[in-house]
């Protein structure tokens, strides 16, 4: 159990303009992070056609992003401790923007895969950094706000998909489209850093010196205290949280990587193949805007368990109806189910006592990406033989894992054996 006095109670309860600007800055980085890759999604059918790729080859190219994440992701904590989470998040988006431009200009499989490798590796670092800085802001804010940051990411994904399909429908070249996207990302993500909106100092400044890895926010989910458990058990717990985090991303992977191809096969036009991503992320926005209140009212376990049930229902509907309307309905229901799962697992990982700033986030994020590494090529291989319904089955598996693994989490304030 933690001491009754939290760090947030020792900080000023007033929300100064500096803190409000920091929160806005984190919103913008999350927005940019969601906006970038989502712009590329509606162009996937065109890229597959231009490069003459099979579904397996396309899946392997997409898997390169996961390889990059695994190779570079563990560097996040090291970079944060030296550059601060704010600088790592904003400057990392510079690299993402340039790599997305390269993917749009790619004229061969190897160039496409190489650019996605860089996108995945840098995004893994940015993901940890933006969440780490968001949790810094949350500690000073004195209330749970982490899911609202992820709502900004979902909003960015919806806007990016809408922008991408509008560009595709208007016949704008992929290279021109991604150039405009890169400029937009630079403005949104680097602007707050140059304007000095983020919290100053090292990330460790907001943590209790007696518990260097503790987050002390009474609104967040946590894992059993590491001081009460052996290292192997702590590693096991983090591994399960990593699996849970990965499973909650499966529906997002389906919408991001496969829904445009699936909808295209089902008869959607070039200007509408991005609607699968819009449907899923649209309900995720709503879920994340109200997510903090739902978590406080129902508890993280219930949110994850019932969320997994919704993902299972949504993907089952998409599989059974096998049509454009069925796919969109399934994506929308699944988005509601996985809306707050990633913020919950990230908060739990960041809450492990005794770890340096960002390390718990780094480990769980890396494990989640490791779990998902084999999925794109496997889905692609199976889709070549059996059809793209396999991608929906992959999303369904994510829902089933969520339904199974929710007991690893507990509400703050409960006993450690809860």
Would you say residue 185 has pLDDT above 90? yes
Residue with tokens 């399934």: 330
Residues 184-209, mean pLDDT to the nearest whole number: 84
pLDDT at 352: 61
Strands 221-222 and 410-411: antiparallel
Taking a C-beta distance cutoff of 8 angstroms, is the pair 142, 20 a contact? no
pLDDT at 207: 57
Between 135 and 328, the higher pLDDT residue: 328
Instruction: Indicate the pTM of the whole model.
Output: 0.70
CA distances from 264 to 277, 328, 400 (A): 13, 13, 27
Rounded CA gap, 72 and 96, in Å?
A: 13
Write down the number of H helices and E strands in the chain.
Answer: 18, 2
CA distances from 355 to 208, 237, 334, 358, 415 (A): 12, 14, 33, 8, 21
Determine whether 368 is exposed, middle or buried from the number of CB atoms within 10 Å of its CB (0-12, 13-18, 19+): buried
Would you say residue 1 has pLDDT above 80? no
Vertex 101: Cα angle to 98 and 107 (nearest 5): 130
Would you say residue 334 has pLDDT above 60? yes
CA distances from 189 to 32, 73, 130, 142 (A): 6, 20, 11, 25
State residue 338 phi and psi, 5-degree precision. -100, 10
Residue with tokens 């199974």: 404
Residues 319-334, mean pLDDT to the nearest whole number: 91
Taking a C-beta distance cutoff of 8 angstroms, is the pair 253, 338 a contact? no
Would you say residue 46 has pLDDT above 50? yes
Which residue, 338, 348, 323, 157, is CA-closest to 251? 338
Residues 374-394, mean pLDDT to the nearest whole number: 83
Residues 375-391, mean pLDDT to the nearest whole number: 82
Residues 51-74, mean pLDDT to the nearest whole number: 85
DSSP 8-state class, residue 5: S
Residues 248-277, mean pLDDT to the nearest whole number: 83
């Amino acid at each position: 159990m933690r001491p009754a006095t939290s760090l947030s109670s020792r900080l000023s309860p007033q929300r100064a303009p500096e803190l409000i600007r920091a929160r806005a800055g984190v919103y913008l980085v999350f927005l940019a992070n969601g906006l970038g890759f989502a712009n590329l999604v509606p162009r996937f059918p065109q890229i597959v056609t231009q490069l003459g790729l099979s579904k397996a080859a396309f899946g392997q190219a997409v898997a390169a992003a996961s390889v990059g994440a695994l190779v570079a992701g563990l560097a996040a904590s090291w970079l944060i401790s030296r550059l601060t989470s704010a600088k790592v998040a904003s400057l990392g988006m510079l690299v993402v923007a340039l790599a997305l431009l390269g993917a749009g200009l790619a004229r061969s499989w190897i160039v496409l895969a190489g650019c996605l490798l860089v996108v995945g590796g840098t995004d893994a670092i940015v993901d940890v950094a933006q969440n780490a800085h968001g949790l810094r802001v949350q500690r000073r804010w004195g209330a749970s706000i982490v899911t609202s940051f992820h709502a900004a990411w979902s909003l960015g994904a919806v806007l990016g998909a809408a922008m991408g399909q509008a560009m595709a429908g208007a016949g704008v070249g992929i290279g021109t489209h991604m150039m405009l996207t890169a400029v937009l990302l630079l403005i949104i993500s680097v602007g707050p850093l140059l304007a000095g909106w983020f919290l100053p100092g090292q990330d460790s400044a907001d943590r209790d010196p007696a518990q260097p890895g503790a987050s002390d926010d009474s609104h967040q989910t946590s894992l059993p205290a590491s001081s009460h458990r052996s290292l192997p058990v702590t590693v096991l717990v983090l591994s399960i949280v990593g699996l849970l985090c990965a499973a909650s991303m499966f529906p997002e992977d389906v919408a991001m990587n496969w829904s445009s191809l699936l909808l295209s096969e089902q008869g959607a036009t070039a200007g509408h193949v991005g609607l699968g991503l819009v449907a899923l992320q649209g309900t995720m926005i709503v879920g994340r805007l109200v997510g903090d209140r739902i978590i406080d009212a129902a508890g993280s376990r219930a949110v994850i368990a019932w969320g997994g049930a919704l993902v299972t229902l949504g993907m089952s509907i998409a599989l059974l109806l096998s049509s454009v309307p069925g796919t969109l309905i399934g994506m929308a229901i699944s988005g509601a189910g996985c809306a707050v799962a990633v913020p919950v697992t990230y908060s739990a990982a960041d809450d492990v006592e005794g770890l340096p700033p960002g390390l718990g986030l780094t480990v769980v994020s890396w494990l989640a990406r490791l779990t998902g590494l084999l999925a794109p090529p496997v889905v692609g291989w199976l889709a070549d033989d059996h059809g793209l319904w396999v991608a929906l089955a992959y999303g369904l598996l994510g829902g089933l894992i969520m339904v199974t693994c929710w007991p690893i989490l507990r509400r703050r304030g409960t006993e450690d054996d809860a």
